[in-house]
């Protein structure tokens, strides 16, 4: 697989089910629910969705937080050139090897300091050709699963070029998974329905000019 975008950051910590990306630049932090990938070992690209961003303080911030007049350069520095990394928690959804997508956990987690890339539109389209990964999102404990699923599906929808059929299929997959939890299903459906995208508010992904 090619990665025509520069890395977002590097792996800070990792496990089989999730990894944490350390980013320096807030502007390049992956948005909630978006797809990222990282090479684990030979030819295995681990795919995941960003589900939490943690912007930690550093001793310097603690010292000046009470200052009524913080210089603009200092505030900007906190965004673009931080001393402590922004931590992005990523849920592992599957992996690709030799162009084949597998929607289950990879054999090995990525090593620390591996480069983490955003996924291209064609990678997202290929990965979301199957939807069994939605199950991983829905049934992972202690994450905002429903919100993550909705954000991820919205993201995939836009990067697939506004494919309504995809939304319906994703909704159906959710309906199958949540057959006993109609209330949850309803909440998810209300967060991914096509009418959301007709509003004038641009979605983050669209702002980035990705189709």
Partner 1 sequence: MRDRQRIGTVIQGSLLEGLTAKLEPSASVESMRVGNFVVIEGQKKQFFSLITDVALGATNEQVLLDPPAGADDFANAVLAGTSTFGTVKIAPMLMLDAEPSLEDQGLRPVKTVPSHFSPVYEADEDDFLRVFQEDTVSGVERVGKKKFFEIGKPLNMEVPVCMDLERFVERSNGIFGKSGTGKSFLARLMLSGIIKSRAAVNLVFDMHSEYGWETQSEETGHFVKGLRQLFGPQVLSYTLDPESARNRNVQPDGVVVIGLNQIQVEDVALLQEELNLTSTAVESSYLLVDRYRDRWLQQLLNMDAETLRDFARESGAHPEAMAALKRKLDMIGRLGFVKEHVDDSVIDEIVRSIESGRHVILEFGQYNNPREYILVANIITRRIHDLYRQKTERYQQTKKPEDRPRQLMITIEEAHKFLNPVAARQTIFGTIAREMRKYFVTLLVIDQRPSGIDTEVLSQIGTKITALLNDEKDIEAVFTGVGGGGRLKALLAALDPRQQALVLGYAVPMPVEVRTRTYDEAFYRAMGHRERDEQRREAEKARTELFGE
For residues 1 and 196, which CB has a smaller minimum distance to partner 1 in the complex?
196
Given candidates 42, 139, 183, 200, which one binds partner 1 under the rule CB under 8 A?
Answer: 183
Q: Which residues contact 139 (CB under 8 A, 6 or more apart)?
A: 145, 177
71 near partner 1, rule: CB under 8 A: no
156 near partner 1, rule: CB under 8 A: no
| Nearest approach, Cβ of residue 130 and partner 1 (Å) | 17
What does DSSP assign to residue 84? S
Q: Which residues contact 92 (CB under 8 A, 6 or more apart)?
A: 16, 17, 18, 19, 46, 47, 48, 105, 106, 109, 136
For residues 5 and 168, which CB has a smaller minimum distance to partner 1 in the complex?
168
Given candidates 16, 161, 168, 202, which one binds partner 1 under the rule CB under 8 A?
Answer: 168
185 near partner 1, rule: CB under 8 A: yes
175 near partner 1, rule: CB under 8 A: yes
| Nearest approach, Cβ of residue 178 and partner 1 (Å) | 9
130 near partner 1, rule: CB under 8 A: no
167 near partner 1, rule: CB under 8 A: yes
Contact 31, 206 (CB under 8 A): no
| Nearest approach, Cβ of residue 179 and partner 1 (Å) | 5
199 near partner 1, rule: CB under 8 A: no
Three-state DSSP state, 139 = coil
187 near partner 1, rule: CB under 8 A: no
E strands, the chain, where? 9-14, 18-23, 35-39, 44-55, 86-97, 100-102, 115-118
Tokens of 74: 């200092």
What does DSSP assign to residue 202? P
How many angstroms separate the Cα of 137 from the Cα of each of 86, 98, 157, 170, 194? 23, 24, 17, 12, 21
* Contact footprint for partner 1 (CB under 8 A): 167-168, 171-172, 174-176, 179-180, 182-183, 185-186, 189, 193-195
């Amino acid at each position: 697989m090619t990665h025509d975008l520069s890395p977002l950051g590097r792996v800070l910590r990792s496990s089989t089910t999730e990894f944490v990306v350390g980013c320096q630049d807030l502007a390049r932090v992956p948005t909630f629910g978006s797809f990222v990938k990282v090479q684990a070992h030979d030819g295995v690209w681990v795919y995941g969705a960003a589900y939490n961003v943690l912007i930690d303080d550093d001793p310097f911030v603690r010292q000046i937080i009470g200052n009524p007049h913080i210089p603009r350069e200092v505030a900007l520095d906190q965004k673009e050139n931080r001393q402590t990394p922004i931590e992005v928690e990523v849920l592992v959804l599957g992996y690709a090897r030799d162009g084949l997508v597998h929607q289950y956990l990879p054999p090995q987690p990525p090593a620390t300091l591996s480069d983490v890339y955003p996924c291209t539109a064609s990678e997202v389209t290929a990965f979301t050709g199957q939807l069994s990964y939605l199950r991983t999102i829905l049934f992972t404990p202690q994450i905002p699963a429903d919100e993550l699923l909705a954000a991820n599906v919205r993201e995939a929808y836009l990067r697939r070029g506004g494919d309504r059929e995809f939304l319906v299929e994703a909704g159906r997959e959710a309906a199958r998974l949540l057959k006993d939890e109609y209330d949850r299903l309803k909440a998810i459906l209300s967060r991914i329905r096509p009418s959301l995208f007709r509003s004038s508010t641009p979605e983050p992904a669209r702002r980035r000019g990705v189709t």
